[in-house]
Chains A and B, each alone.
Chain A
């Protein structure tokens, strides 16, 4: 059987080079795996407050410690989360949190601490987080005037 006059040995086959496609797909997978890990370590599902002014600044790329106040129902807090570790909102949990903060801040005096809390969480549950940051600074021996504590909010005005 003769399939083609030009290709005497049979029909010409079409072959696409799959290598760049697979390269790109793997690169994208690695990217998303890493990004999703970073995101899960840093972000707790909460609704941040949105102040009416545009005075809040964009975060810089400096190294930072993110302390989350995990929201519970009725303005309470289920705990405090530093990286992937979670601390109970009782006396012992807060003591552990101070120790963990001090360990994280040690050796980097210019470190920035970001505090994230839900907009409905009562202030009485956020205050211990701020106190823990202050105590952690004192414990790690970092000059308070050099410490940078930031409150994380949503940017832009309500209509924006």
Chain B
């Protein structure tokens, strides 16, 4: 009789305990009386398991997670300060196809001193020296090229200068020229203020290398 009376009571207490585990505060209600706990223990294993919380050992997982974290932090390569130089591909293509619709557009305002030459050709040798084509007709180092181009461009608010900023500049590096020297010549023209700067495109050079 006493056993039968204790059973529903202990079940209620166990349910309360389960709620206590589920609630963030930890405990709800009052602690069960000692006698009630004893009777719950007596009630058997069946009701005992209800209030037991499932606990996973987190330590190995956190270990692995941190190992992975350290690995990825250590192996990630960050991009250095990369910049881009705009290149005029239209001119390269136009020079190759010679199509009438792809012909270079004339400068916007016609100048009595405008040059007849279609473009300024900069031939870069493998040792880095630059041979500027007509109308400059000079052999220059890269530093000199920067100075000459900066002096010869006709910018608003500055007298003198041979070239409009829209005047096309074609860089024509020789085959063995390191990419650095080729980019240096292109950069010299871009830095001076030229807007149409590109590499020369030679037709019939599909093969890579020499």
Q: List, sorted by A's number, 24 A–B pairs whose CB atoms are closer than 8 Å.
A: A25-B69, A36-B76, A43-B77, A49-B184, A50-B180, A51-B184, A51-B187, A55-B85, A55-B187, A56-B190, A57-B83, A89-B208, A119-B180, A119-B183, A123-B175, A124-B208, A128-B208, A130-B92, A134-B201, A137-B89, A151-B87, A152-B82, A153-B82, A153-B84
Give B144 Cβ to nearest chain A Cβ, in Å. 12
Query: Which of B85, B89, B190 makes the CB contact (< 8 A) with A144?
Result: B89
The reply on B21 being an interface residue by CB < 8 A is no
- A151:B89 contact, CB within 8 angstroms: no
- B186 in the interface, Cβ–Cβ < 8 Å? yes
B: contact size bracket = 35 or more
How distant is the Cα of A94 from the Cα of B207 in the complex, in angstroms?
8
Interface of A toward B, CB cutoff 8 Å:
18, 21-22, 25-26, 28-29, 32-33, 35-36, 39, 43, 48-59, 69, 75-77, 89-91, 94, 114-115, 117-128, 130-131, 133-134, 137-138, 144-145, 147-156
Interface code B172-184, partner A: CB below 8 Å = 1, 0 otherwise?
0111111110111
Question: Are A147 and B89 also in contact (CB < 8 A) when A32-B73, A91-B206, A153-B183 are?
Answer: yes
In the complex, per-residue mask of B25-37: 1 if CB is within 8 Å of any chain A CB, else 0: 0000000000000
CB within 8 Å of A: which residues of B? 58, 61-62, 65-66, 68-69, 72-73, 75-77, 79-87, 89-90, 92-94, 96, 102, 124, 142-143, 146, 173-180, 182-184, 186-188, 190-191, 199, 201-202, 205-210
User: Do residues A58 and B69 form an inter-chain contact, with CB atoms below 8 A?
Assistant: no
Residues of B within 8 A of A115 (CB): 87
A117 to B180, CA, bound (A): 9
Inter-chain CA distance A52–B183, complex, in Å, is: 10
Chain A binding surface, main DSSP class = mixed
**CB of B41, distance to nearest CB on chain A (Å):** 16
A59 contacts across to B, CB distance below 8 A: 82-84
Nearest neighbor of A113 in chain B, beta-carbon distance: B89
